[in-house]
Chains A and B, each alone.
Chain A
Amino acid sequence: MLFRIRRGSLVNAAAIAAAMLMAVAGARAFDESKYPDLKGQWDRTAQPRWADAKSAPLTPEYRAIFEENLKDQAAGGQGTDPTFTCVAPGMPRVMNMYAPFEIVVTPRTTHMLMDHIHDSRRIFTDGRDWPKEMQPNFNGYSIGKWIDEDGDGRYDVLVVETRSLRGPRSYDSTGLPFHADNETVINERIYLDKADKNTLYDEITVNDHALTRPWTMVKKYVRKPNKQPVWQEAVCAENNPHVVIADEPYMLSADGVLMPAKKDQAAPDLKYFPQSRK
């Protein structure tokens, strides 16, 4: 009995100590083993295009806007692609992944870090609800939830909804437009390939009033093997040859002189200069 009591006490003490230590660790530690390993450098597997524009389920009104944009681009303009002045591409376009990106998972937030223009995202996973008032952003406001779909005790899918977007935005440089009301809602499912942990998918469904139905696209990314990846800084404004004057796009020549973007484009109005020079 004595032995039993002592042994039982020891067992109990060990179990209690272990439980307490586990609880402390659980309370203060971020248990990475619960989350998929998304560390490293991810890159796109295709050109940064959203889709074949013909497949876009645009409403007739926005199909006409898109066609007009194509005509303008063919003439040297930018159409409905707003990013040539280095404004942010916004969601969901940033998921075209213009430069390699990093995913930083913390219990409260998943950060998507993309060194392009202003592409990085915060996806809040702390259980918050949508704020009553949200200031619209190009990347919107994203709330995510980690899901253990296969019940193995580890999360395998990050489900995200993004709202509160602002414009102008397009899907890619072809100028595929979003509705000007900026009521876009984007749903994503982000997950690793079950057979290849170096392949990541983002299944993106766009709900937008420029579309006749929700439009789903799956983006695929691959993980680079370098454990210490090289991250290159991208500064859009550093050598941007595009200039907008009074809503009209112009170009800068190699010698930094203003030149037309379109054939026979008129020179900008210089009424604020007392004299003009050729």
Chain B
Amino acid sequence: MLSRCGFGSLLFTAAMLLSLTGAQAHDESKYPDWNGQWRRPPGVNNQWEPTKPRGQEGAPLTPEFQAIFEANLKDQAEGGQGTDPTYICIPDGMPRAMNVIFPMEMIILPSTTYIHIEYLQMFRRIYTDGRPFPEDTDTAFMGYSIGKWVDTDGDGRFDQLQVETRFLKSPRAFDSSGIPLHPDGKTIVHERFYQDRDKPDVLHDEVTTIDNALTRPWTVTKHYNRVRNPIWVEAICSENNDHIKLGKDTYMRSADGLLMPAKKGQRPPDLKYFNAQDTRK
């Protein structure tokens, strides 16, 4: 009798221990191993469509936004910033952040996947706890992202993270060429993150952007290479930013720290708030 009790107790204890482990442990084996540091591949710069040269990426812009884009290119050629808003160190926002100018880390927990990009400390929370989108929330450059882990090959492990991002704030551009997004803030971004089947140190992000500046959803696939034992280098945009925005005008900072024109023939800034006798030439 005692033996039977002992046997039963042991099984019960083992079952309890297992269920406890299951309940309180984050089973990392169910998720892909995306630890480490992810970098854009060599030769890919600040361009949205990585297979095409920057500025010639074939964005399916509406005629109205194509005209805005071309005016932007002209302004950039003259020394301006066009429709690229990030020169004053505001975040790239989504989807541009996925250009991953500086390295990226992905932290996977059951309820949230965190994406941390060093540049401007751009940071995404992708909620995977089954919540719906809120009816209303503040807009943000990085938006509000809801994700779902999918086991596409049925092997019992998740291999794909599907994400939808809404509630995006303006101004944003796809990249430094200034390809514009509509300022109505109605962009929706769909993503599929997945590891390369043959190369575990390669990650793909298939990004589809739906935006009223586009004639159709625009899909590009980004690729990232893993560094296993990374060094994280701080990138502080504001620290040595050569661009100065005064009102609607953009100027440059000279090597000696003084204001200088960004464009040929640019007029100096208005100094109406300074005493006349203090105004230097």
Question: Which A residues form the contact surface with B (CB < 8 A)?
Answer: 7, 10-11, 14-15, 17-18, 21-22, 24-26, 28-33, 85-88, 104, 106, 108-109, 111, 113, 115, 117-120, 122, 135, 137-139, 228, 230-233, 235-238, 243-247, 252-253, 255-260, 264-273, 275-278
**B114:A257 contact, CB within 8 angstroms:** no
Given A233-B138, A267-B279, 10 more pairs with CB closer than 8 A: A11-B7, A21-B18, A25-B22, A30-B25, A31-B21, A231-B125, A237-B88, A246-B257, A255-B247, A266-B278
Which residue on chain A has the smallest CB distance to residue B260?
A272
Q: By CB atoms of chain A within 10 A, which of B29, B121, B266 has the most?
A: B121
CA distance A230 to B137 in the complex (A): 8
**10 sampled A-B residue pairs with Cβ under 8 A:** A118-B234, A138-B236, A233-B138, A237-B89, A256-B246, A258-B274, A266-B278, A270-B268, A273-B266, A278-B276
**A273:B267 contact, CB within 8 angstroms:** yes
**A88:B280 contact, CB within 8 angstroms:** no
Query: CB-CB < 8 A to A106: which residues of B?
Result: 107, 109
Query: CB-CB < 8 A to B199: which residues of A?
Result: none
Question: Which B residues form the contact surface with A (CB < 8 A)?
Answer: 3, 7, 10-11, 14-15, 17-18, 20-22, 24-29, 35, 88-91, 107, 109, 114, 116, 120-121, 123, 125, 129, 131, 137-138, 140-142, 169, 231-234, 236-239, 244, 246-248, 253-254, 256-261, 266-276, 278-281
Known contacts A18-B18, A33-B20; A137/B268 CB under 8 A: no
**A272:B258 contact, CB within 8 angstroms:** yes
CA distance A263 to B45 in the complex (A): 46
CA distance A236 to B260 in the complex (A): 24
**A25:B271 contact, CB within 8 angstroms:** no
CA distance A18 to B121 in the complex (A): 44
Known contacts A231-B125, A245-B257; A236/B238 CB under 8 A: yes
Query: CB-CB < 8 A to B121: which residues of A?
Result: 117-120
Known contacts A29-B27, A31-B24, A276-B279; A247/B257 CB under 8 A: yes
Query: CB-CB < 8 A to A25: which residues of B?
Result: 18, 21-22, 25, 27
CA distance A267 to B109 in the complex (A): 53
Query: CB-CB < 8 A to B274: which residues of A?
Result: 258-260, 265-267
B241 CB, min distance to chain A CBs, angstroms: 8
